[in-house]
Amino acid sequence: MSGPRGTLDGKVAVVTGASGGLGRAIALALAKDGAAVAVHYGTNRDAAEQVVSDITTRGGRAISVQGDLTASEPAQRIMAAAKDALGGVHILVNNAGITKDTLLLRMRDEDWEAVLAANLSATFYCTKAALREMLRQRGGRIVNMTSVAAQLGPAGQANYAASKAGIIGFTKAVAREVGSRGITVNAVAPGFIAVGMTDRLPPEVVNTYVEQVPLGRAGKPEEVAAVVAFLASDDAAYITGQVIHVNGGLVMH
Active site residue 160: yes
Q: Which of 41, 125, 160, 209 is catalytic?
A: 160
Give the chain as a DSSP string: -B-SS-TTTT-EEEETT-SSHHHHHHHHHHHHBT-EEEEEESS-HHHHHHHHHHHHTTT--EEEEE--TTSHHHHHHHHHHHHHHHS---EEEE---------GGG--HHHHHHHIIIIIIHHHHHHHHHHHHHHHHT-EEEEEE--THHHH--TT-HHHHHHHHHHHHHHHHHHHHHGGGTEEEEEEEE-SBSSGGGGGS-HHHHHHHHHT-TTSSPBPHHHHHHHHHHHHSGGGTT--S-EEEESTTSS--
Catalytic residues: 160
